[in-house]
């Protein structure tokens, strides 16, 4: 049996994937992408968690024996920024697409074929 935290993270990833695969509206697809990224970040954080320990800031009596792993938190910081960057660019491209095709329905945006 896997833990509830892993389960939640995987569920978010799969929900995001489902949205990307089935939705027709471009913005919904991008929302799906963001949900997926959130799930991944949660998964990374929960991999680094150690039961019963506190945040890795070594003041006020916290010692290396009472804190969780700092690396996944640093990784997630990076991953979040990268997610923001991707989302910003994706929205920009969506703006350009809307300007050209006057729709965000991916079934109707079909310039490239073959």
Min CB(14)–another protein separation in Å: 5
Residues in the chain: 114
CB 66 to another protein: min, Å: 10
d(CA 101, CA 30): 18
User: Is position 100 an interface residue for another protein (rule: CB under 8 A)?
Assistant: yes
Residues 33-72 that bind another protein (CB under 8 A): 33, 36-37, 39-40, 43-44, 46-51, 55-59, 64, 67, 69-72
Residues 5-34 that bind another protein (CB under 8 A): 5-7, 10-11, 13-14, 16-18, 20-22, 26, 29-30, 33
CA distance 22 to 65: 47
**Taking the CB of residue 79, how many other CB atoms lie within 10 A of it?**
16
Across-strand partners of 54? Answer: 67
Can you state the angle between helices 26-48 and 70-101, rounded to 10 degrees? Answer: 180
- Residue 101 in contact with another protein, rule: CB under 8 A: yes
Among 96, 103, 105, 108, binds another protein (CB under 8 A): 96
Residues forming beta bridges with residue 67, ordered by sequence position: 54
- Residue 78 binding another protein, by CB under 8 A: yes
């Amino acid at each position: 049996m896997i833990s509830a935290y892993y389960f939640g993270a995987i569920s978010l990833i799969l929900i995001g994937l489902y949205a990307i695969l089935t939705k027709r509206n471009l913005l919904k697809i991008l929302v799906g992408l963001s949900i997926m990224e959130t799930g991944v970040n949660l998964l990374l954080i929960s991999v680094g968690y150690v039961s019963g320990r506190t945040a890795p800031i070594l003041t006020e009596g916290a010692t290396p024996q009472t804190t969780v792993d700092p690396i996944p938190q640093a990784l997630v910081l990076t991953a979040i920024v990268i997610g923001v960057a991707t989302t910003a660019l994706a929205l920009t491209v969506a703006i350009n697409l809307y300007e050209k095709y006057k729709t965000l329905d991916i079934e109707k945006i079909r310039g490239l074929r073959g």
